[in-house]
Amino acid sequence: MVDRNMQRTNRVLPAVVVLLAGLIGCGGSPSFTPEDAAALILEQYPGSDLQIQSVSIDENDRGIASALFNDDVWTFYFRAQENGVHSWVLDAVETDGSYYYLKDLEKIPVTIGLMAEVASALENYKAANGSYPEGNNADVLSVVVPDFNDAEAPSFTDAWDGMLSYESDGANYTMISSGADKIAGTRDDIILHDGQFISVESSGSQGSTP
């Protein structure tokens, strides 16, 4: 005769396994995959050249992705949603020793967009006048794009409310945002030279533009 206790055990064990599997699947942080990281990064920077190299979850439950991003090495940091939804959000990045929170990530493309618009206006000015406006400060730009300025107080600022720098000899120009730290010559500078965004190394300073 089969032991009834053994029968109960045989029935209970599969149920326990299913329950544990459900708890493992529902508890803790959500899984974090290269596909998750790539989707969130490209949502922030559509059209970028991205190659995810590795992903992990650290001791603080942050998702971490190392990647080649537009030919530079970046580390992306993600945090799990805290509202009960099992998903990740991009929180910060680290590149060339500089760490940026999401609020700064959002301001980088805004600043790049503004500088690109000014660059377009500069090209129109050069086409009409034969050269770029000469000078060594952003006030010179008021002759190019008056719609960007307050009539009483001309001002060209980036998304961190820092003044853009501008220097031109008429044949070439360089426009610079000092970035989140608002200090010229550091790694987070955003540099536009003759219509092309370049790295800090290319401009002769140390570090690279994030």
pLDDT score recorded for residue 28:
55
Beta strands 165-168 and 196-198: pairing type? unpaired
pLDDT of residue 7: 45
**Where do the domains of the chain lie, and which CATH numbers do they carry?**
34-95 (3.10.450.630), 104-203 (3.30.700.10)
Q: How far, in Å, CA of 1 to CA of 68, rounded?
A: 66
Q: Terminal CA-to-CA distance of the chain, rounded, Å?
A: 75
Number of H helices, E strands in the chain: 4, 9
**Cβ-based neighbour number of residue 152 at 10 Å:** 5
Return the biggest CA–CA distance within the chain.
Answer: 104
Q: pLDDT tens, 18-60?
A: 323 333 334 455 789 999 999 999 998 899 999 999 999 999 9
Higher-confidence residue of 107 and 6: namely 107
Average pLDDT over residues 97-123: 86
